[in-house]
Amino acid sequence: MPKTEQDLDRLASRLLRETIEGGMYRDNDGVEAWHTYREQPLLALLRESAYPGMGSAGGGGSRTAGSPATISVEAVDLFIAIDREALDTMWLDERIRAQLRGRLDAQLEDRVRIWVEQWRPDPAKRQQLWRTLSKWVTQIESLLDPAKVVKLRGSACPACSNTVAMVEECGELVRTPALAVAVGSTGVLATCRACGMQWPAESINDLAAVVNPEGFAVAGIRP
Ligand SMILES: [Zn+2]
């Protein structure tokens, strides 16, 4: 589906701008309340993981999941790859080149801003840019916050009643619990590896009601 200028703006803001997200959450007493949390821009988070303490905007309080010490090499690799891809593509565009002339020290974020500004009105270029930025968002999110997968041991799938599934791992068929819940920055998804049935966030409570809830507690989900 062709992306609109607003689609591109929304995507670019995840990379470039701090956003405030909100959602309904239930506390231990079952009271539901609206909570908000700040999301740092993804490019700044990646920079902080790759080069800790060298943040450009001087804003502290980054919310990096996992241990920065163990992901820093991967973060550096990804930062360099994104920076290079941005330079290579943008340099081919005469108008962007003109804007960047004399600004060789422009940061990745500044360059991406110019890129969005220039390519936003042109449908074909907008599509191409959307694909590139969307790839970066996925790459950065999976590096900083890999989905946590919790296997629901001993729980039968309500769709196919299997408790185990045979899956291929490193070329060998191994037995594994059929049901698993993946919790990532983009949400929650339960899957049966025996029949392929899926329960996205909005129907996860239906699944939790009929299977052993312990696994859900491990996954941090309170049905
Ligand atoms: Zn199943």
The residue with greater pLDDT, 155 or 122, is 122
Model confidence at 118, in pLDDT bands (50, 70, 90)? very high
The residue with greater pLDDT, 49 or 133, is 133
| Single pTM value for the model | 0.59
Over the stretch 8-32, which tens digit does the pLDDT of each residue have?
Answer: 998 999 899 876 655 555 555 666 6
Q: Tell me, what's the pLDDT at 85? A: 94
Distance 158 CA to ligand 1 centre (A): 7
Concatenate the DSSP letters of all residues of 74-111 into one string.
Answer: HHHHHHHHHHHHHHHHHHT-HHHHHHHTT-TT--HHHH
Query: Tokens for 116?
Result: 């969005």
Average pLDDT over residues 153-171: 83
Distance 174 CA to ligand 1 centre (A): 17
Query: Tokens for 105?
Result: 């020290």
Q: Tell me, what's the pLDDT at 114? A: 93
Q: Tell me, what's the pLDDT at 81? A: 95
Distance 183 CA to ligand 1 centre (A): 19
Taking residue 112's Cβ as centre, other Cβ atoms within 10 Å add up to 22
Q: Tell me, what's the pLDDT at 111? A: 92
Model confidence at 188, in pLDDT bands (50, 70, 90)? confident
Distance 188 CA to ligand 1 centre (A): 17
The residue with greater pLDDT, 80 or 148, is 80
Q: Tell me, what's the pLDDT at 173? A: 81
Over the stretch 45-100, which tens digit does the pLDDT of each residue have?
Answer: 899 888 887 655 433 444 444 444 445 788 899 999 999 999 898 889 999 988 88
Portion of the chain with pLDDT greater than 90, in percent: 26
Distance 194 CA to ligand 1 centre (A): 5
Q: Give me the residues near ligand 1 (ion), CB cutoff below 5 Å.
A: 157, 159-160, 192, 194-195, 197
Distance 113 CA to ligand 1 centre (A): 46
